Amino acid sequence: MGGGQLSSAPLPRSFFDRPSPEVAPDLLGRVLVHGPVAVRLTEVEAYGGPGEDPAAHTYRGRTPRNAVMFGRPGHVYVYFTYGMHFCANLVCLPEGSGSAVLLRAGEVVAGVDVARARRTGGSASAPAGAGRRVADRDLGRGPARLAVALGLLREHNGIDAIWPGAPGETETLLTRDHRLTGVPHGAVVMLEGRPADPSAIRSGPRTGVSTAKETPWRFWIDGDPTVSPYRAHVPRRRNAAATSVGEAPNS
């Protein structure tokens, strides 16, 4: 896991106003904060727009379920998959485009106890699942685990991850490296973090999708222990309670 300082400067909306395959590798090393938990992203996947990318939720156009992906860049698109998991994405390109980046894995750099309690079904003060302690590297290793660690649920679908910088209550998050200061209290916000060294970024096929399988839009930081293992798509029967649309990458 990387060392060095993390910047708490918020990312601007213009960062996401680009094609998802450009945004995705540039997200590596950035920090997503939700309340007391902060995650430095180490693995992401890009998904294209309507009629362009058969693996994208927006391939067949806009629906009530994928409407957030057609909104302004920098918003969070949360979907439910296999009747069990939530996964989080960040919207790219101008409003109406329908493109996003799936957040696949990351290192929890602040709020480790809270993230671990969420993963084991307890609380930070009285954690459950003590007999199955989750290793630090596994707290956000996979898109469903990442969403759980950050506490992102259906009600966060459509929330804006771009902080306007308006006056309000802020807090300081303690990380292994230093303090993230001036973070808006309780908000979901993308911070500059510490961009990954370009020489350490790798790309390859996306994980678990049944169409456009060879599109090399999965990006990760080489050698980082929080990156999830690659898994090719294996057909499975979906739970009738699943509410995802289009393809649903596995965790």
Q: What domains are defined for the chain?
A: 7-221 (3.10.300.10)
**pLDDT computed for residue 176 by the predictor:** 66
Radius of gyration of the chain (CA): 17
| Residue 208 and residue 233 in contact, taking contact as beta carbons nearer than 8 Å | yes
Contacts of 39 (CB under 8 A, 6+ apart): 31, 32, 33, 106, 107, 108, 109, 140, 146, 149, 150
Tens-place pLDDT, residues 188-236: 999 999 999 999 999 999 998 888 988 999 999 999 999 998 887 776 6
| Residue 106 and residue 139 in contact, taking contact as beta carbons nearer than 8 Å | no
pTM: predicted TM-score of the whole model, two decimal places: 0.86
**pLDDT computed for residue 241 by the predictor:** 38
Q: Measure the N-to-C terminal CA separation of the chain; round to a whole number of Å.
A: 20
Q: Is the pLDDT of residue 123 over 60?
A: no
Q: What percent of the chain has pLDDT over 70?
A: 83
Tens-place pLDDT, residues 48-67: 999 999 999 999 999 999 99
Task: Give CA–CA dist 219/238, Å, rounded.
Answer: 27
